[in-house]
Amino acid sequence: MPRLKAATVSGQTVRKRKRKVRDDDVTEEAALATEGQNEVVGPDGSLIEPHQPETVESTTTTVATKTHDGGKKPRRTPKKKNTSKPTLARHGSSALVETSIPWPEHFTKLAQVHRAMNMVYTFLCTRKHLATTLDNLKSTVESNLQRELVIEDVAQITALIPKAINFAYVDEAMLQINLMGSEDNLKGRRTTDFAILEPEPDKGEHKEVLLFEFVDGDLKRQVKDKKTGEPTKATTKLRNEDLKMPVYSQKQMMNLIEKRNVKFTSAVNAFLNQCAEEGLDAVEKIKEVSKVYIPVSSESRESTPGPERSLIPATIPAERKPIPEILDEIKSLEWYTGQIVPDGHRVFDPQEPVYGDLNFAMSQNLVNALYNTRNITQLYAHQAEAINNLYDGHNVIVSTSTSSGKSLIYQIPVLHQLEQEPNTRAMYIFPTKALAQDQRKSMKELLRFMPGFEEVLVETFDGDTPMSDRNYIRDEARIIFTNPDMLHITILPQEDAWRTFLQNLRFVVVDELHVYNGLFGAHMAFIMRRLRRICAAVGNRHVKFISCSATVANPEEHMKTIFGVDEVKLTDFDGSPSGRKEFVCWNTPFKDPGDPTSGRGDCMAETAKLFCQLMLRGVRAIAFCRVRKQCEALLAAVKTELTNLERTEVISRVMSYRGGYTPQDRREIEREMFEGKLCGIVATSALELGVDIGSLDAVVTVGFPYTIANLRQQSGRAGRRNKDSLSVLVGDCFPTDQHYMSNPDEIFTKPNCALQVDLENMLVLEGHVQCAAHELPINLETDTSYFGPLLPKLARERMRLDRDGFYHVNTRFLPQPSRTVAIRDTEEDHFAIIDTTNNRNVVLEELEASRAFFTLYDGGIFLHQGNTYLVKEFHPDRMLAKVELVKVDWTTQQRDYTDIDPVETQAIRRIPGSHSKAFFGPIKITQVVYGFFKIDKRRRILDAVQVDNPPIVLHSKGMWLDVPTSALQILRSRRLNIAAGIHAAEHAVLSLMPNFVISLPGDVRTECKVPEKEFLAKDSLRKRPARLTFYDAKGGANGSGISTKAFEFVDELLERY
């Protein structure tokens, strides 16, 4: 029998400490921990498969309509009336599975090995803060057992409880870290003390160590009580914890040790019972099944696939199996423990196409072009209806599911009009440059098959368009593809230069109309009114507006609001075909599948497993993440999972797509996905909108997105070629996620929220009226129809009147009013992140200034395409950071605080019925990043480091309310924390604000105080009155106008509160 000492392990302590850890230290603590405890006496045994806790079987519901994209209420399979209501019961892993079979001596010895390793592991990972390699555990375990530890014993223990143990070779470099914050170092070190092992020249060799760790749960963080010095529960967030390593009580550790021991006993009992039922020798069986759990280093790994890999095709198939078969294969894998929640599997039946006819005849050239480019011989009913309405002179809004062929609705009328009148102009407005590029390509392809129109100029006009080309495009292009920003800043202010184009403008297409919501929607509404006003002034009152939107609650009303038109025709039924679609609610399992107290596992690791299984079976998939950091973390987890599955050749075929990447990189990723070179992509909501990246078979949404509409929009990206498709929502540990995991019915039945736009936001209104006056002087008689009843008062108070009765722009907006009105929360300042690995000096990406200070700091880890880069140099003054590729298994999280200070009182409102007042004025926001934590993949703090980044100072507008002295006295008399009470009141007011002011979450913010400052025994250095403070998150120093309007309604808001 091979011995453990023959294995290749490292004796290196990979996290430095002040004193060397001796075996007798661990033995002494272990002996103290086991004092007074009984031996684990197992009845006797043979081997079976590890015990699986009972799970509630998931059910599949078939739905016959396209409700997965927000359509009408689905038709459900009726439930049986006489079914009894299920009873929920908690299945704890510590509930002992009984057996009447005597334990063989072999299993009794295994229990002793497990007990010793459990005890030593717990002390090493909590008290010693060492990487728990088998080499670090070995000598102490052998001292406890009084015999040699063999690798086969560890493999057999892992086979019995495979979900509780990770036993594998890992690259030693992944564990390397220079520990700065030890138990004795309460304040951490500066980043000047930070060091990491420099990457050695690649010699083609990587040293591996054998890692052993329990993954069935972690000890809760504790800190030392200031009075008693004993470990106690942590009361602050991780990022605000004092700079010290975690401490744990002996009772806490013993509870975890005993819990694992009981779990192991239960697993052995279950194994013996199964072997007895099957008539097998348990000892021989455990030896047989444990062979696949014996770790093998990458160098000596055999090519024979293990049981998990044998179900996966050796190469990614060109033609995949049907989705139901693939799901069944995944559910048969060992790590599947019932992740599909009850009633969380829905099937949407295929839908046959419904065709319609046009009321007019298209030219043969146009018919041929449609056939040659897209094989189109008939139009769907919704396409025909919308095109007919346009032909009849109506404005049109189309609200149907994703990939239903909406683009033809605004392509055919424009091309038909061009054939009738060659001077016709059309303007296509998209919220993103990528969408505009897609539609430009599609239109040029159609024109290429229309004789006589091959040379018609169709071009994009956006910020990337070279200055040398802009005049030519303006004068010669028949169709331009642009965005709201260019229309606002360039086209409308230069009305005289664009006059010919605007006089001949017949169609304005605004795609993805649902994007223009809230504050951005208000800006877009006034931009459209300015466009209509200019067109009317140059004699063009025949512009028709076409909009396409995802399914929303109020598409017709929303289009009227955005364009300021009274007559709109709505098309909201869908005649396009769709393949069978399956929707699955997949909940991240507990760390111990039978024990809810162990907490949910790692959502990223769970998603990575599922994502890889889909890709390797030929499913072209996209995973949506909420934020950029999640996007990078998931890609890193996918690469790790592919490595574990020995499919490293697939790593290059998975990429992330998010904001921050250079335009060239984004176009390259889009092209490779469209051409089928990539089999998976991990993205933020940047790909929610209809960028054409080819057909997709599956969408995996990581955590519940911000709204039901977001989820449905993402889900609609799959199945764009009428094949069967899959959409998966992976539940994270957060309450919102778990609500929908427990109530999946709401995902399919809840209506979409109505879109809202506030046209009475004075700050937004004034900005665009001043822009309009610069384009053409304001005439109150005619222009009130564009800008509403508030225009006369605004003009008299804020504009210059001439002798002819026209109003002109206020001088403070000159010389370019449009430059002073920001229509979205974008930034011009960006930091360059330069990769200096092996002297490459290549710009990886560009990061907005507001993000840079929270992401870049000396010694921090920066993620790009799933790779980890160490920030070697950060130069705020030069707006760049130099990073170097490293191979580590930990990341960093910044520690920061934000101070919110009113600067000047510009307005005061008395609160009716009280002596209190509300104040309004400029607000100063000071953001400080003062350090960071190094955190491993299980969210455990490895180290704490201080940094000296300069503060970020921003300015906005906001309101504040001073808390009455009587309220403070009540809080004191009831021994309630004043700071916590103020903070709670601030968030309560924020939650009510949308009832009085049209706004979206995040439009207005408040001060979230650092708890460690508020709960300190000593006085804080920053003295300020007890007050509730709110400020605009967008709009720069002038704010967005939302807090201004909230200030106007503050008495009603507080009355509701």
Looking at the fold, whether 567 and 585 belong to one and the same domain comes out as no
Round to whole Å and give the CA distance between 893 and 937.
12
Q: What is the pLDDT of residues 917-957, one digit of tens each?
A: 899 999 999 888 888 888 877 777 777 888 888 888 888 99
DSSP-derived letter for residue 80 is P
In a shared domain, residues 804 and 696: no
Tell me which residue of 125, 98, 207 sits closest to 936, measured CA to CA: 125
Locate 23 and state its tokens: 């075996």
Q: Is residue 617 part of a domain?
A: yes
Does residue 561 contact residue 757 with C-beta atoms inside 8 Å?
yes
| Position 497 in a domain | yes
How many CB atoms within 10 Å of residue 561? 21
The encoded tokens of residue 598 equal 């162990």
The CATH number assigned to the domain holding 693 equals 3.40.50.300
Beta strands in 147-254 (DSSP E): 165-171, 189-190, 208-214, 222-224, 231-233
Q: Is 1 exposed, middle or buried (0-12, 13-18, 19+ CB in 10 A)?
A: exposed
Q: Quickly count: other Cβ atoms within 10 Å of residue 385's Cβ.
A: 23
Separation between Cα atoms, residue 354 and residue 377, nearest integer Å: 13
Same domain for 447 and 556, yes or no, is yes
Query: Which of 520, 546, 571 delimits the end of a domain?
Result: 571
589/559 same-domain check: no
Structural domain boundaries enclosing 634: 581-749
Peptide bond into 663 cis (omega under 30): no
Distance, in Å, from the CA atom of 565 to the CA atom of 310, rounded to the nearest integer, reads 62
Within this chain, do residues 713 and 814 fall inside the same structural domain, yes or no?
no
**Within the chain, how many helices (H) and strands (E) appear?**
32, 38
Domain contains 243:
no
Q: Is residue 231 situated within a structural domain?
A: no
382 & 456 share domain? yes
CB 571 within 8 A of CB 401: no
pLDDT, residue 954, reads: 86
Any bridge partners for residue 496, and if so which? none
Rounded to an integer, what distance in angstroms lies between the CA atom of residue 193 and that of residue 198?
Answer: 15
Peptide bond into 815 cis (omega under 30): yes
Q: What is the CA radius of gyration of the chain?
A: 32
Contact status, residue 65 vs residue 573, Cβ threshold 8 Å: no
User: Is the Cα torsion angle 604, 607, 611, 612 positive or negative in sign?
Assistant: positive
Question: Is 79 domain-assigned?
Answer: no
From its phi and psi, is residue 150 left (phi > 0), alpha (psi between -120 and 50) or beta? beta
DSSP 490: I
Annotate 597-622 with b (16+ C-beta within 10 A) or e (fewer): ebebbbbbbbbbbbbbbbbbbbbbbb
In a domain, 588, yes or no: yes
Cβ-Cβ contacts under 8 Å for 661 (sequence gap 6 or more): 669, 845
Q: What is the DSSP letter of 387?
A: H
**Phi and psi at residue 349, to the nearest 5°:** -65, 155
Please, what are the averages of pLDDT over each run of 10 residues along the chain (1057 residues)?
35 37 42 40 37 48 50 40 37 65 93 93 69 85 91 93 86 58 39 40 61 74 55 51 55 86 92 92 93 79 50 84 94 90 93 93 94 93 96 93 86 94 94 81 92 91 90 95 94 95 96 88 96 96 92 88 94 90 94 78 92 94 89 91 90 86 77 83 72 79 87 81 87 91 90 83 92 95 94 93 93 90 74 90 83 85 89 87 88 87 90 85 90 81 82 89 88 87 86 75 77 47 75 82 84 74
Domain count, the chain: 5
Shared domain for 521 and 587, answered yes or no, is no
Whether residue 566 is found in the same domain as residue 590? no
Spell out a b/e string for 313-338, using b for 16 or more CB atoms within 10 Å of the CB, else e: eeebeeebeebeebbeebeeeeebeb
Regarding whether 559 and 585 lie in a shared domain, the answer is no
- The first and second tokens of residue 234, run together, are 């942590």
CA separation for the pair 134, 264 (Å, rounded): 19
CB of 289 closer than 8 Å to CB of 47 = yes
Which of the 8 DSSP states describes residue 172?
Answer: G
Q: Which residues pair with 923 in a beta bridge?
A: 902, 956
The strand pair at 680-683 and 621-624 is best described as parallel
Element holding 278 (H helix, E strand): helix 250-278
Give the 3-state secondary structure of residue 633.
Answer: helix
Quick check: 610 and 700 in contact, CB under 8 A? Answer: yes
**Residue 548: C-alpha distances to residues 406, 551, 558, 690, 970 (Å):** 7, 9, 11, 11, 55
* DSSP for 399-467, written as a single string: E--TTS-THHHHHHHHHHHHHH-TT-EEEEE-SSHHHHHHHHHHHHHHHHTSTT-TT--EEE-STTS-H
Amino acid at 909: R
Residue in the structure block whose two tokens are 């993954």: 215
What is the DSSP secondary-structure string of 693-743?
A: ----SEEEEES--SSHHHHHHHHTTS-TTSS-EEEEEEE-SSHHHHHHHH-
**Using alpha carbons only, what angle is made at residue 606 by residues 600 and 609, rounded to the nearest 5 degrees?**
160
The pLDDT value recorded for residue 1046 is 86
Question: How far apart, in whole angstroms, are the C-alpha atoms of residue 32 and residue 123?
Answer: 11
Count Cβ atoms within 10 A of the Cβ of residue 829 and give its class: 0-12 exposed, 13-18 middle, 19 or more buried.
exposed
Q: To 5 degrees, how large is the angle CA 166–CA 860–CA 684? A: 75
Domain boundary among 543, 571, 599: 571
Q: What is the largest CA-CA distance in the chain?
A: 107
Helix, strand and coil in the chain, % to nearest 5: 40, 20, 40
Residues contacting 483, CB < 8 A, separation 6+: 429, 430, 431, 432, 433, 436, 462
**Which residue, among 34, 804, 785, 70, has the nearest Cα to 401 in the 3D structure?**
70
Write down which residue in 514, 540, 571 finishes a domain: 571
Query: Residue 136 phi/psi, 5° resolution?
Result: -75, -25
How far, in Å, CA of 419 to CA of 396, rounded?
21
Q: Which helix (H) or strand (E) holds 533?
A: helix 518-537
The candidate with the shortest Cα–Cα distance to 961, out of 1057, 822, 821, is: 1057
DSSP 536-598: HHTT----EEEEEE-S-S-HHHHHHHHHT-S-EEEE----S-B--EEEEEEEPPEEETTEEEE
Q: Are residues 557 and 636 in the same domain?
A: no
Distance in angstroms (rounded) separating the CA atoms of residues 1007 and 435: 37
Cα gap 224→397, rounded to integer Å: 63
User: Does 305 fall in a domain?
Assistant: no
Please tell me the predicted confidence (pLDDT) of residue 911. 84
Tell me, yes or no, whether 557 and 623 share the same domain.
Answer: no
Extended strands (E) in 770-840: 800-801, 807-808, 830-835
Q: Would you mind telling me the total number of residues written for the chain in this entry?
A: 1057
Measured CA angle at 332 (ends 326, 336), to 5 deg: 105
38 located within any domain: no
C-alpha–C-alpha distance, residues 817 and 812, integer Å: 9
Residues 445 and 587 in one domain: no
Q: What is the DSSP letter of 210?
A: E
**Residue 580: closest CA among 393, 322, 260:** 322
Instruction: Give, rounded to a whole angstrom, the gap between the first and last alpha carbons of the chain.
Output: 73
Identify the bridge partners of residue 509 per DSSP, sorted by sequence position: 428, 546
- Which tokens is 528 given? 């459209």
Let me know the angle formed at the C-alpha of 706 by 335 and 588, rounded to the nearest 5 degrees: 10
